């Protein structure tokens, strides 16, 4: 077994951060400021991804590079931060080591003084993993470009289809899950069909595309106030999205879905119905909640293992009677807080319990429409949409990305054009 533990000067501590998302990246940045810390950040991808805008890549509004930045570029000049590309397979909490596998299948180990698990979340199919090939989720750039390929290909295939029934099925899009991902994706598909593609085809009318949003609960966006949920439902209906509330999907295959006794033929099904923590958490041997998140102490450490912290979407912690939500601001706060507690331990100061600052929640529903809620303040319509634009541009990493995204949105708003309408193939090999 190879080892990648760095050689440390006397008095320095080695901190491993697993995951380069919002929580892990901000934990590493906070730790990098301390002279007694050597950080190793491990991620299976070389980029940090701004997940809240993935649906824009999936619907050709933005390019992948607009919402992703190389992780290494965030630590240029920081000599006490190393980045390692690989997937963490095991964490030895008792022995304090991390086992990593690279793309070649080679396994290496690194010892740590402290570890921060920021491994994030993945889609949950509630025990029906065989549905995933037919209903991809939206958590990675690869999934976003695959969804984009499927959406754009559906219109191209329908243009060349002479069977009316098959043509209708190709233009049926089903989004499962009425949370922010499902609502934003369904609204964007309806918007692109009715405002962007409508003049580009000759044999079909893209605005006739049927977009269904299926939600098992009684209302959309249950994390929002009820009046805002109803406003989102009204806005989606006005966009042409067909809502199926209190409806549970019972089967998904290559030809469509089953909702109870009803069969719906659909060329595309997309999944946004549930999330669970990365499977790494299940190998820790610690107490988990139903979603696989680690139940952490108030200082964000794992009970019984004060050197191990869990942050972001992988952590379960109740503050004020509420579980910390799986949102970017919450992930950033937990990552920075864990770093502060690690530094406090190194400096032999007491740790502090995590305090969550609720910055509100937002969701956009197509062009010009959004809802926002923070404390007692509630916004809807165009004002909420402008606020949504401002907040998301602000949270993007990198000045270039902020400018690029702002210009892309301005162009799309003024001219109803989307420049990232590329159909990429899954087979990369050149053909003879």
Known catalytic residues? 184
Contact 135, 270 (CB under 8 A): yes
Triad 36, 42, 44: Cα angle to 5°: 170
DSSP 8-state secondary structure symbol assigned to residue 288: B
Query: Strand, helix or coil at 123?
Result: strand
C-alpha–C-alpha distance, residues 168 and 170, integer Å: 5
Query: Strand, helix or coil at 399?
Result: helix
* Percent composition of the chain: helix, strand, coil (DSSP 3-state, to 5): 35, 25, 40
Query: Strand, helix or coil at 283?
Result: helix
Between strands 275-277 and 268-271, the pairing is unpaired
Rg (CA), the chain: 23
Choose among 130, 138, 144: nearest CA to 183.
138
Between strands 377-380 and 370-374, the pairing is antiparallel
313 to 118, 201, 273, 281: CA distances (angstroms): 7, 42, 16, 11
C-alpha–C-alpha distance, residues 327 and 87, integer Å: 23
Contact 324, 312 (CB under 8 A): no
Q: Is 366 exposed, middle or buried (0-12, 13-18, 19+ CB in 10 A)?
A: buried
Q: Is 292 exposed, middle or buried (0-12, 13-18, 19+ CB in 10 A)?
A: buried
Number of neighbouring beta carbons within 10 Å of residue 191: 24
- Phi, then psi, of 292 in degrees rounded to 5: 80, 10
């Amino acid at each position: 077994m190879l080892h990648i533990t760095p050689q440390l000067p006397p008095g320095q501590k080695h901190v491993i951060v697993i995951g380069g998302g919002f929580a892990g990246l901000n934990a590493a940045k906070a730790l990098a400021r301390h002279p007694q810390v050597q950080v190793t950040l491990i991620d299976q991808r070389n980029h940090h991804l701004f997940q809240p805008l993935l649906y824009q890549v999936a619907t050709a509004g933005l390019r992948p590079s607009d919402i992703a930045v190389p992780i290494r570029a965030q630590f240029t000049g920081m000599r006490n931060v190393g980045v390692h590309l690989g997937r963490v397979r095991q964490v030895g909490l008792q022995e304090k080591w991390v086992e990593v596998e690279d793309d070649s299948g080679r396994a290496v180990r690194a010892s740590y003084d402290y570890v921060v698990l920021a491994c994030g979340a993945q889609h949950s199919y509630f025990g029906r993993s065989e549905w995933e090939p037919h209903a991809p989720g939206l958590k990675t750039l690869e999934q976003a470009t695959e969804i984009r390929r499927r959406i754009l290909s559906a219109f191209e295939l329908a243009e060349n289809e002479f069977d009316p029934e098959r043509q209708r099925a190709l233009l049926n899009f089903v989004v499962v899950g009425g949370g922010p991902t499902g609502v934003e994706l369904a609204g964007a598909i309806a918007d692109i069909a009715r405002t962007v593609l409508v003049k580009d085809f000759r044999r079909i009318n893209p605005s006739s595309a049927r977009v269904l949003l299926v939600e098992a609960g009684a209302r959309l966006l249950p994390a929002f106030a009820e009046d805002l949920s109803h406003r989102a439902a009204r806005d989606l209906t006005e966009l042409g999205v067909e809502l199926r509330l209190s409806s549970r999907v019972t089967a998904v295959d290559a030809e469509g879905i089953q909702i109870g006794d009803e069969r719906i033929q659909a060329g595309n099904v997309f999944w946004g119905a549930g999330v669970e923590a990365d499977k790494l958490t299940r190998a820790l041997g610690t107490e988990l909640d139903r979603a696989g998140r680690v139940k952490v102490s108030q200082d964000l450490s794992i009970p019984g293992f004060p050197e191990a912290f869990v942050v972001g979407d992988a952590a379960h912690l109740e503050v004020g009677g509420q579980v910390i939500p799986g949102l970017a601001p919450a992930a950033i706060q937990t990552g920075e807080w864990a770093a502060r507690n690690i530094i406090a331990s190194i400096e032999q100061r007491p740790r502090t319990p995590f305090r969550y600052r609720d910055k509100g929640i937002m969701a956009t529903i197509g062009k010009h429409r959004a809802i926002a809620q923070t404390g007692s303040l509630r916004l809807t319509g165009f004002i909420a949409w402008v606020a949504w634009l401002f907040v998301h541009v602000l949270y993007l990493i990198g000045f270039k990305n902020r400018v690029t995204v702002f210009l892309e949105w301005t162009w799309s708003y003024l001219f109803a054009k989307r420049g990232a309408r590329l159909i990429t193939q899954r087979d990369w090999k050149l053909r003879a």
